[in-house]
Amino acid sequence: MAELEILGIPQSNFVWVCRIAAAEKGVPHVNTPLMPHAPDILAITPTGKVPAMRHGAVTLGESRAICGYIDRAFPGPALIPADPVAAAKTEQWVSLVNTWVDPVSVRQYLVGYFFPGTPDGSPNRAMIDPAVPKMQAQIAVLEQAVAANGCLAGPDFTLADCYAVPILYYLRMAPESAAALAASPALTAYLDRMLARPSIASTVPPPFPR
Please tell me whether residues 73 and 89 are part of one structural domain: no
Please tell me whether residues 190 and 133 are part of one structural domain: yes
What tens digit of pLDDT does each residue of 102-112 get?
999 999 999 99
What tens digit of pLDDT does each residue of 32-42 get?
999 999 999 99
Q: What is the CATH number of the domain that holds 125?
A: 1.20.1050.10
**Measured between alpha carbons, how far is residue 66 from residues 38, 79, 136 in Å?**
18, 12, 30
Q: CA neighbours within 13 Å on the CB side: how many for 124?
A: 16
Domain endpoint, select from 79, 113, 131: 79
Please tell me whether residues 96 and 186 are part of one structural domain: yes
Average the pLDDT over 195-208 and give the result: 96
Q: What is the pLDDT of residue 210?
A: 67
210 within domain boundaries: no
Host H or E run for residue 141: helix 125-149
Domain endpoint, select from 27, 49, 79: 79
Please tell me whether residues 32 and 99 are part of one structural domain: no
207 within domain boundaries: no
What tens digit of pLDDT does each residue of 64-113 get?
999 999 999 999 999 999 999 999 999 999 999 999 999 999 999 999 99
Q: Is the pLDDT of residue 1 over 70?
A: no
205 within domain boundaries: no
What's the pTM value of the predicted model, to 2 decimals? 0.97
Domain endpoint, select from 79, 95, 130: 79
Average the pLDDT over 158-180 and give the result: 98
Please tell me whether residues 35 and 106 are part of one structural domain: no
Please tell me whether residues 96 and 75 are part of one structural domain: no
Q: Which domain range does residue 20 map to?
A: 4-79
Average the pLDDT over 44-61 and give the result: 97
Q: Any idea how long the chain is?
A: 210
208 within domain boundaries: no
Q: What is the pLDDT of residue 209?
A: 74
- How far is the C-alpha of 17 from the C-alpha of 63, rounded, in Å? 7
Please tell me whether residues 123 and 62 are part of one structural domain: no
Please tell me whether residues 11 and 88 are part of one structural domain: no
Question: What does the mean pLDDT of the chain come to?
Answer: 97
- How far is the C-alpha of 15 from the C-alpha of 78, rounded, in Å? 19
206 within domain boundaries: no
Is the preceding omega at residue 51 within 30 degrees of 0, hence cis? yes
Please tell me whether residues 147 and 73 are part of one structural domain: no
Q: What is the CATH number of the domain that holds 20?
A: 3.40.30.10
41 within domain boundaries: yes
- How far is the C-alpha of 149 from the C-alpha of 86, rounded, in Å? 12
Q: Is the pLDDT of residue 151 over 80?
A: yes
